[in-house]
Amino acid sequence: MPFTPWHEDPAFGTVATWEEWRAATARTLPEFFQQWFYSQLLGFVLLWTAIAGFPGLVRRAWGLLMILAALVNTYASIMDPTCYIDYGVVAVPPMQHFIYSRLFASPALLVLPIAIGQLVIGLVLFLSEEPSLLKKGLTGAMVWFFGVSTLGFGSGFPATWIFASTMMLCWPPPPPQPSSSATARKDKGA
């Protein structure tokens, strides 16, 4: 299926302009508001917890949340794959085109690999203590949160950017370097 410009998709008519998107988002605020509010609250609580000096706890909490999200996405993509189409209303126009064309054509085929990626990220964040693996998991989570922000209000935006910032605060510290005096003493003894 060739990719058509997003304003000319024959199967779905005209996809929203930015002005139409803003109006549609405003109309759907009541439908998404409760989830959006709790996303902001969760983002700020976990951000504050990381700032307060508990990045390991926050990392594990995000790992658990990513694992749960992967399970929910897997279940939903198998049992009711069209539920993801609802997010098209509030997604930014380029993502809206993707949802109403590619995702609409085969939601389970696209959502299942995403859920697997979520599961892998979640397992790494929850279980790993290896700094190099943690860095990969945290980077994956940041990319995930920045990517999902294109769903707009339906993703909890701007909470998704807060979530990504929290991942940055969970970055493992560099390994301790031997002090120069310890190195000098070791050289003298050799």
The backbone region for 156, taken as left when phi is positive above 0, alpha when psi lies in -120 to 50, beta otherwise, is: left
Q: What is the mean pLDDT of residues 157-165?
A: 86
Q: Is the pLDDT of residue 95 over 70?
A: yes
Count other C-beta atoms under 10 Å from residue 28's C-beta.
16
Q: Quick one: CA torsion of 115, 121, 126, 128, rounded to 10 degrees? A: 140
pLDDT band at residue 6 using 50, 70 and 90 as cut-offs:
very low
* Separation of alpha carbons 142 and 145, rounded Å: 5
User: Given this model, what pLDDT does residue 51 score?
Assistant: 92
pLDDT band of 186, cuts 50, 70, 90: low
The arithmetic mean of pLDDT across residues 154-166, rounded, is 84
Average pLDDT of the residues in 139-160: 84
Give CA angle at 8 (111, 17), nearest 5°: 80
Instruction: Tell me the per-residue pLDDT of 43-84, one tens digit each, with 9 for 90 and over.
Output: 899 999 999 999 999 999 999 999 999 999 899 888 887 777
| Token pair 């693996």 in the structure block, residue | 133
Q: What is the mean pLDDT of residues 96-100?
A: 75
Half-sphere exposure of 19 (CA within 13 A, CB side): 0
